[in-house]
């Protein structure tokens, strides 16, 4: 008996010791949570420390940001579920794939994914994630233990570490020993470009479906490995706003199911219960709708989950800020609100886990059996293979199945003419049959016209992929499968010429720009045709690139081999031409074949520019083209050296009148100026430009 009692005491002591080894955020950080903003490396260290001392957590690194910061997922449940975690994950994927054997699955917990801090300057969320992790790691109360039996919780502590650290570093540098709650204090104003976007100034919360950025690409791979039943995207809004949680506002996309709408209400009511108990203000059914497909709530919804956005007031709030109501909102308050909805949502998911799993299964079975909408197949024409490849890559990233070609003549809605017409499916046409698990997502991304129930929407209302990629397509009411799994490589028939006079590359896509840059890097002299010409039976349009053999052999070894290699690298063809004498157009000695020189490109950045516009071009040059661009400030424009910068890009922005004056001498020396969007407004009515604002005739009410 004594031994038995001693054993119990020893086991109890061990359990207490294990719990004691899991440090709270306060203990690990060395300061109370909410009294400072925590840099990302310290958050990562905390997650690793807790994982090392807890039996119910698995930490997964799913990638790195452009600046090299780790991207993490913490997977948490009770020990029994953790011991069979891979089985649970695979069983869940069977449900998401509408596997017929999935009907035999039992004892399957629901999966709840909590995403924090996709916008870097909404910095409360990552702090909250540490408190949630600690609470679930301890699981020292009966409620939490019960919830974890029915639920797998996945925590992503920070979706945008680069942007968040930009915010945190700046805030820590400009704030004083004691937080200043005055909204006009400098700690409440961020310098350009702010912490909201990622390294390339992209809004990652609008990138879920498009996956242009490396953070999104890596996260979606991880997301598809789990396919949660519920996903919550934690945000912050103006510090003067109360808390927002589901249910969402109209418009709600017609393909979002009745069950998905109803469960948002269920979640919202449970969240409201805790906010009511504390007297905290909140709102639902306003502002945040469910239409645009690339958000952290809609993308999961179109993937069968219950997707929701939670918004805490806090942007520009710092550690403390005085609101318009005269109250002081602190970071600790903001953490407590996000923590409360995190735990309340876990409670709701655990309570309804069986129903969530059942409806999740039904969602994908329905997708395969009876896809939504009037159209069951989309056929994208192979009019531009380079663009079609890009589209196919995006579909693969989203796990959307497709095929190519079918020897059929069909009738379908023509995206270009917007009429129902007959057409033939050709070998390389992309065929997307909606009878598949990803039917809803595919249908939403391809629908030619989106039904909008309320014009007061949060974002754009048109995004159909054929239009976005500049490809014609047909929407077909029949269910059609393609005959091939891949594109047929189009081998261009080119003449064999021992010593060509020149090689020609017809310009057709961005890929050709990459080939041009690769050749320039090898010191190849390249000319551009300012007019079209014909050699034999082949017509080459204006814009075609020409490489003359004689002028290149003197400076480039084995020019023929180099062109073969570059052509293979970029899947393009250089056509050999035997003579400089053409059949139509001007001969190759004409001045219309101008020598191309490498442009020395500069781009204006800073307070007067749109960070999004800057980021788009920065990313394009650096990641897509691999071409150098000199990032400048407006202060340097008066001193531009034409020998260092001969092409200048003004991104979208609001520029002062001085900009035109500063650039006058540089332009007179031959500088080329590219104006994007509203940047053109800075040059209207300015010398030496002859730019005038177009005046439209007034429309009388009777004409409407």
pLDDT tens for 229-277 read 999 999 999 999 999 999 999 999 999 999 999 999 999 999 999 999 9
CB 679 within 8 A of CB 653: yes
User: What is the spatial distance between Cα 398 and Cα 436, in angstroms, rounded to a whole number?
Assistant: 13
In the chain, the percentage of residues whose pLDDT exceeds 70 is: 96
CB burial readout 177-211, b (16+ within 10 A) else e: eebbbebeeebbebeebbbbbbbbbbbbbbbbbbb
Based on its alpha-carbon atoms, the radius of gyration of the chain, rounded to whole angstroms, reads: 30
277 SS3 class: helix
Q: What is the pLDDT of residue 20?
A: 55
User: What is the spatial distance between Cα 19 and Cα 21, in angstroms, rounded to a whole number?
Assistant: 5
Find, among 333, 352, 354, the residue nearest to 344 by Cα: 352
Q: What is the pLDDT of residue 251?
A: 95
Write out the H or E segment, with its range, that includes residue 465.
Answer: helix 465-468
Three-state secondary structure string covering 522-533: CCCCEEEECCCE
N- to C-terminal Cα separation, the chain: 94
User: What is the spatial distance between Cα 553 and Cα 559, in angstroms, rounded to a whole number?
Assistant: 7
Residue-averaged pLDDT of the chain = 94
- At 637-658, the pLDDT tens digits run 999 999 999 999 999 999 998 8
Asked whether the predicted pLDDT for residue 9 surpasses 70, the reply is: no
Distances (CA, A) of 639 to 33, 633, 654: 48, 11, 21
Q: Quote the distance between the C-alpha of residue 628 and its chain's center.
A: 24
CB 390 within 8 A of CB 511: no
**Counting beta carbons within 10 angstroms of the beta carbon of residue 212, is it exposed (0 to 12), middle (13 to 18) or buried (19 or more)?**
middle
Dihedrals phi, psi of 686, to nearest 5 degrees: -105, 145
Mean pLDDT on 493-515 = 92
In the chain, the percentage of residues whose pLDDT exceeds 90 is: 87
- At 558-607, the pLDDT tens digits run 999 999 999 999 989 999 999 999 999 999 999 999 999 999 999 999 99
CB 465 within 8 A of CB 394: yes
Percentages (nearest 5) of helix, strand, coil residues in the chain: 40, 20, 40
User: What is the spatial distance between Cα 386 and Cα 416, in angstroms, rounded to a whole number?
Assistant: 19
Number of H helices, E strands in the chain: 21, 29
Q: Quote the distance between the C-alpha of residue 357 and its chain's center.
A: 28
CB 209 within 8 A of CB 464: no
- At 292-326, the pLDDT tens digits run 999 999 999 999 999 999 999 999 999 999 999 99
- 100-104, 216-220, 392-396, 475-479: which has the minimum mean pLDDT? 100-104
Asked whether the predicted pLDDT for residue 8 surpasses 80, the reply is: no
Looking from the CA of 649 toward its CB, the CA atoms found within 13 Å total 23
Q: CATH assignment of 601-683?
A: 3.40.50.880
Global model pTM greater than 0.85:
yes
Are the folds of 22-367 and 601-683 the same?
A: no
Residue 132 CB contacts under 8 Å (≥ 6 apart), including other chains: 114, 155, 339, 342, 343
- 19-33, 259-273, 379-393: which has the minimum mean pLDDT? 19-33
Find, among 442, 433, 497, the residue nearest to 464 by Cα: 442
Q: What is the pLDDT of residue 700?
A: 65
Mean pLDDT on 410-428 = 97
How many C-beta atoms surround the C-beta of residue 233 within 10 A?
A: 27
Dihedrals phi, psi of 76, to nearest 5 degrees: -130, 140
Mean pLDDT on 470-489 = 95
Find, among 208, 230, 229, the residue nearest to 219 by Cα: 208
Asked whether the predicted pLDDT for residue 110 surpasses 70, the reply is: yes
Asked whether the predicted pLDDT for residue 172 surpasses 70, the reply is: yes
Asked whether the predicted pLDDT for residue 540 surpasses 60, the reply is: yes
Q: What is the pLDDT of residue 183?
A: 98
- At 147-169, the pLDDT tens digits run 999 999 999 999 999 999 999 99
Distances (CA, A) of 370 to 127, 260, 291, 401, 402: 43, 18, 21, 16, 17
Asked whether the predicted pLDDT for residue 456 surpasses 60, the reply is: yes
Mean pLDDT on 479-491 = 91
Long-range contact set of residues 85-90: C-beta below 8 Å, sequence gap at least 24 = 85/58, 85/152, 88/152, 89/225, 89/226
Find, among 286, 198, 210, 227, the residue nearest to 611 by Cα: 198
Q: What is the pLDDT of residue 383?
A: 92
User: What is the spatial distance between Cα 300 and Cα 319, in angstroms, rounded to a whole number?
Assistant: 32
Question: Strand 601-605 vs strand 647-650: parallel, antiparallel, or unpaired?
Answer: parallel
Q: Is residue 251 reached through a cis peptide bond, with omega within 30 degrees of 0 on the bond before it?
A: yes
703 band by pLDDT with thresholds 50, 70 and 90: low
CB burial readout 320-359, b (16+ within 10 A) else e: bbebeeeeebbbbbbbbbbbbbbbbbbbbbbbbbeebbbb
User: What is the spatial distance between Cα 241 and Cα 185, in angstroms, rounded to a whole number?
Assistant: 20
User: What is the spatial distance between Cα 463 and Cα 79, in angstroms, rounded to a whole number?
Assistant: 44
Dihedrals phi, psi of 387, to nearest 5 degrees: -70, -35
pLDDT greater at residue 72 or residue 702 = 72
459 band by pLDDT with thresholds 50, 70 and 90: confident
Domain map of the chain by residue range?
A: 22-367, 371-476, 502-596, 601-683
Q: CATH assignment of 22-367?
A: 3.40.630.10
Asked whether the predicted pLDDT for residue 474 surpasses 90, the reply is: yes
Asked whether the predicted pLDDT for residue 495 surpasses 90, the reply is: no
């Amino acid at each position: 008996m004594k031994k038995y009692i001693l054993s119990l005491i020893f086991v109890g002591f061990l359990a207490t010791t294990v719990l004691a080894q899991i440090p709270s955020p306060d203990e690990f950080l060395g300061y109370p949570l909410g009294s400072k903003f925590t840099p990302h490396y310290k958050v990562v260290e905390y997650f690793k420390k807790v994982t090392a001392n807890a039996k119910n957590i698995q930490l997964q690194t799913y990638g790195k940001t452009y600046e090299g910061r780790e991207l993490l997922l913490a997977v948490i449940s009770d020990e029994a579920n953790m011991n069979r975690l891979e089985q649970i994950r695979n069983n869940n994927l069977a449900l998401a794939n509408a596997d017929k054997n999935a009907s035999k699955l039992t004892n399957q917990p629901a999966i709840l994914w909590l995403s924090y801090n996709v916008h870097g300057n909404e910095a409360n969320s990552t702090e909250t994630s540490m408190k949630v992790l600690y609470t679930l790691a301890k699981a020292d109360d009966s409620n939490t233990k019960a919830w974890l039996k029915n639920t797998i919780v996945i925590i992503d502590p920070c979706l945008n570490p680069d942007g968040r650290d930009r915010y945190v570093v700046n805030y820590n540098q400009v704030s004083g020993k004691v937080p200043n709650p005055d909204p006009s204090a400098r700690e409440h104003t961020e310098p350009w470009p702010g912490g909201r976007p990622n390294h390339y100034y992209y809004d990652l919360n609008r990138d879920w479906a498009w996956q242009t950025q490396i953070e999104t690409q890596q996260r979606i791979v991880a997301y598809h490995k789990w396919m949660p039943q519920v996903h919550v995207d934690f945000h912050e809004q103006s510090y003067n706003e109360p808390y927002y949680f589901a249910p969402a506002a109209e418009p709600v996309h017609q393909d979002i199911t009745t069950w998905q709408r109803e469960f948002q209400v269920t979640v919202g009511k449970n969240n409201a219960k805790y906010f009511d108990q504390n007297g905290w203000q909140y709102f639902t059914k306003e502002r945040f709708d469910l239409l645009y497909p690339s958000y952290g709530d809609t993308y999961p919804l179109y993937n069968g989950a219950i997707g929701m956005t939670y918004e805490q007031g806090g942007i520009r709030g710092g550690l403390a800020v005085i609101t318009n109501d005269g109250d002081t909102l602190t970071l600790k308050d903001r953490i407590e609100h996000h923590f409360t909805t995190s735990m309340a949502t876990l409670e709701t998911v655990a309570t309804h886990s069986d129903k969530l799993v059942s409806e999740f299964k039904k969602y994908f079975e329905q997708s395969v059996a009876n896809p939504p909408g009037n159209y069951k197949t989309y056929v994208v024409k192979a009019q531009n293979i380079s663009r079609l490849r890009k589209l196919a890559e995006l579909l693969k990233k989203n796990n959307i199945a497709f095929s190519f070609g079918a020897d059929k003549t069909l009738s379908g809605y023509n995206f270009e003419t917007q009429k129902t017409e007959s057409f033939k499916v050709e070998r390389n046409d992309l065929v997307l049959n909606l009878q598949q698990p990803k039917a809803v997502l595919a249908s939403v991304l391809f629908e030619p016209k989106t039904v909008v129930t309320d014009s007061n929407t949060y974002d754009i209302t048109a995004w159909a992929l054929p239009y976005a990629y500049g490809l014609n397509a047909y929407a077909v009411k029949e269910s059609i499968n393609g005959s091939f799994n891949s594109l047929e490589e189009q081998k261009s028939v080119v003449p064999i010429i021992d010593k060509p006079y020149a090689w020609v590359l017809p310009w057709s896509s961005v890929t050709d720009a990459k080939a041009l840059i690769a050749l320039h890097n090898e010191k190849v002299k390249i000319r551009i045709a300012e007019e079209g010409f014909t050699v034999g039976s082949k017509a080459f349009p204006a814009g075609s690139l020409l490489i003359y053999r004689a002028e290149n052999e003197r400076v480039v070894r084995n020019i023929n081999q180099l062109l073969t290699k570059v052509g293979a690298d970029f899947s393009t063809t250089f056509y050999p031409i035997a003579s400089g004498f053409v059949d139509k157009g001007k001969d190759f000695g004409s001045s219309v074949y101008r020598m191309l020189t490498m442009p020395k490109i500069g781009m204006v950045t800073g307070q007067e520019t749109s960070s999004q516009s800057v980021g788009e071009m920065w990313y394009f040059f650096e990641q897509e083209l691999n071409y150098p661009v000199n990032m400048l400030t407006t202060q340097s424009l008066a001193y531009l050296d034409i020998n260092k910068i001969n092409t200048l890009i003004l991104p979208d922005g609001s520029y002062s009148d001085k900009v035109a004056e500063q650039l006058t001498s540089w332009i007179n020396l031959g500088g080329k100026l590219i104006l994007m969007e509203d940047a053109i407004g800075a040059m209207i009515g300015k010398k030496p430009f002859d730019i005038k604002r177009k005046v439209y005739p007034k429309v009388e009410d009777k004409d409407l």
